Amino acid sequence: MNDDAQNQSPAVIRAIAPSFSEKSFYLEEFYGKSLLFALVPPAGSHGNEFNSLIRTLRELRRNQTRCIVIVSPSALHKLLKRMGRMAPAGPIPVFNPSLGLRSRPYPPDSAVAQIWEGLRAGSIVVASTNDDDSTDLIVFAQELASRLRIFKLIFLDRRDGLSDRDGTRLSFVEVTRIRRALRTLRSRDRRAIVRAAERALRDGVGSVNLVAPRFVYDELFSFVGSGTLVTEMQYGQVRPISIDDFEEVEALIVRGQDEGFLLHRSAEQIARILPSCFGYRIGDEHLAGICALLTDPYRREHAGEITAMYTLTRFQGEGVAVELVKECLHEARARMLRYVFACTSEDRAARFFARLGFRRVEPGDLPAAKWRGYDKPRIARLSLFRYELE
């Protein structure tokens, strides 16, 4: 979004994080964790609906991620056949959701032990309910996920993620907005899923995804996503990044450069802005966006530059960038700066800063240190903004 570095060779940039990819980004997050997939009937009645799920399970098994798959009896045989060698050996646990639901703990200790024995024997457990009732399966999957404190619960429903009244897909819904989402739903199953997601989050499940079976791979392993992610807290919070975040932030900056949102920096230039970065993190999950408040080059002017602002595609339009800028302004006041500024060559970014109260200025209104290495044609292509703090 910002023009804050001189152009570098793409080959140089990619050398910073050669192993970074969307899939590896998420696999690192899922490493050693437990995920529960619930295939909501009638999903699973067609064999081709398993393609994306099988591909996902294969990646997660290699990643040492524990997976539990709950299916209806009519889908069980089709799933096991498609899993091939990944299918668990031995009998498949079958649970009756109508038994013991009113007693606690539920599912009972014996069911939890049975699940753990299967996970210990391999990284994937497949279990079935005793009938094809979709509501029973939804409730059982939620209760099991809650009892196990699963890292992520994924409901695989043919109707995909949630949408607003205008039919626009909701990439995110946080738990306090569940009631609003319920008003737009008429299907019994959809309402049951949303209520189950709310209960699971209240019980300590990390997050809940709602997605069509054919899109589950994209939902879990891409920045764009496909369904709806439901989280307990507000989408996220902005904090200064720690040194343990540096590699992740560096990879996001490289991605922003490759996508054309950020101008290219060398590894040395990126290293110099990492200590100034803030990250917007979604619950206990990954970073959704980053931004830096660079002050070191502008100490004499008591100024700061908002730079390296990048939001993952899935999170765009969700207020992530606004929260990042607000935190930068808060930090700038704490550092007793006179003003902050931002430079961009994108019309969309220019409108964004204007909406936040930044005013357009001329090059002479910004620190001279900013323009070292810039030529006049390049400066002329930029929109310059300044925000007074005094």
pLDDT band at 6 (very low <50, low <70, confident <90, very high): very low
pLDDT bracket for residue 14 (50, 70, 90): very low
- Distance (Å, whole) CA 288 – CA 208: 17
- For residue 303, give the nearest of 346, 363, 366, 230 by alpha carbon: 366
Tell me if the bond preceding 108 is cis, omega within 30° of 0: no
Least confident of 79-83, 169-173, 188-192, 280-284: 280-284
The number of beta carbons lying within 10 Å of the beta carbon of residue 200 is 28
Which pLDDT value is given to residue 3? 56
Residues 6+ apart with CB under 8 A from 353: 342, 344, 383, 385
| CATH architecture, range 31-231 | 3-Layer(aba) Sandwich (3.40)
Which pLDDT value is given to residue 171? 80
At 368-390, the pLDDT tens digits run 999 988 888 889 999 999 999 97
pLDDT tens sequence across 217-270: 999 988 777 888 888 765 568 889 888 889 889 988 988 888 878 878 888 889
Kindly list the domain boundaries of the chain, sorted by start residue: 10-19+237-388, 31-231
Is the predicted pLDDT of residue 180 greater than 80, yes or no?
no
Residue 1 has pLDDT above 60, yes or no: no
If you search the block for the tokens 């899935």, which residue do you land on? 314
DSSP letter (8 states) at residue 261: S
Q: Tell me the pLDDT of the chain averaged across its residues.
A: 86
Examine the pLDDT at 281 and tell me if it is beyond 90. Answer: no
Which stretches within the chain are classed as H helix? 10-14, 22-30, 51-62, 73-83, 109-121, 134-148, 178-183, 188-202, 216-221, 246-258, 267-273, 320-334, 347-355, 376-380
Task: Kindly indicate the confidence band of residue 200, based on its pLDDT and cuts at 50, 70 and 90.
Answer: very high
Is the predicted pLDDT of residue 352 greater than 70, yes or no?
A: yes
Please report the pLDDT score of residue 245 as a whole number.
86
The pLDDT of residue 56: 96
Determine how many CB atoms are found less than 10 A away from the CB of residue 13. 20
Across the beta sheet with 303-311, what order do the strands follow?
A: 237-240, 277-281, 287-294, 303-311, 339-344, 383-388, 359-360
Residue 12: pLDDT over 80 = no
pLDDT at 17 over 50: no
Quote the pTM value.
0.70
> Which one of 3.40.50.20, 2.60.40.10, 3.40.630.30, 2.40.10.10 gives the CATH number of domain 10-19+237-388?
3.40.630.30
pLDDT value at residue 290: 94
Using the predicted structure, report yes or no on whether residue 9 has a pLDDT greater than 50.
Answer: no
Burial bucket for residue 269 (CB in 10 Å: 0-12, 13-18, 19+): middle
- The two three-digit tokens of residue 121, written as one number: 């024997």
Q: 342: pLDDT confidence band, cut at 50, 70 and 90? A: very high
Task: Give 375: exposed, middle or buried? Use CB within 10 Å, 0-12, 13-18, 19+.
Answer: exposed
Give the residue-averaged pLDDT of 156-167.
Answer: 85
Distance CA 309, CA 276 (A): 12
pLDDT digits (tens, 9 = 90+) for 47-104: 788 999 999 999 999 999 999 999 999 999 999 999 999 999 888 999 888 776 667 7
Residue 16 has pLDDT above 50, yes or no: no
How far is the first Cα of the chain from the last one, in angstroms, to the nearest whole number? 26
Q: What pLDDT is stored for residue 129 in this prediction? A: 93
- What average pLDDT does range 335-358 have in this prediction? 93
- Give the integer Cα–Cα distance in Å for 384 and 362: 7
Joined tokens for residue 79: 């799933």
- How sure is the predictor about 150, in pLDDT bands with cuts at 50, 70 and 90? very high
Whole-number pLDDT of residue 189: 85
What confidence category does residue 11 fall into, taking pLDDT thresholds of 50, 70 and 90? very low
* Angle at which helices 73-83 and 51-62 cross, to 10°: 60
Percent of the chain at pLDDT > 70 equals 89
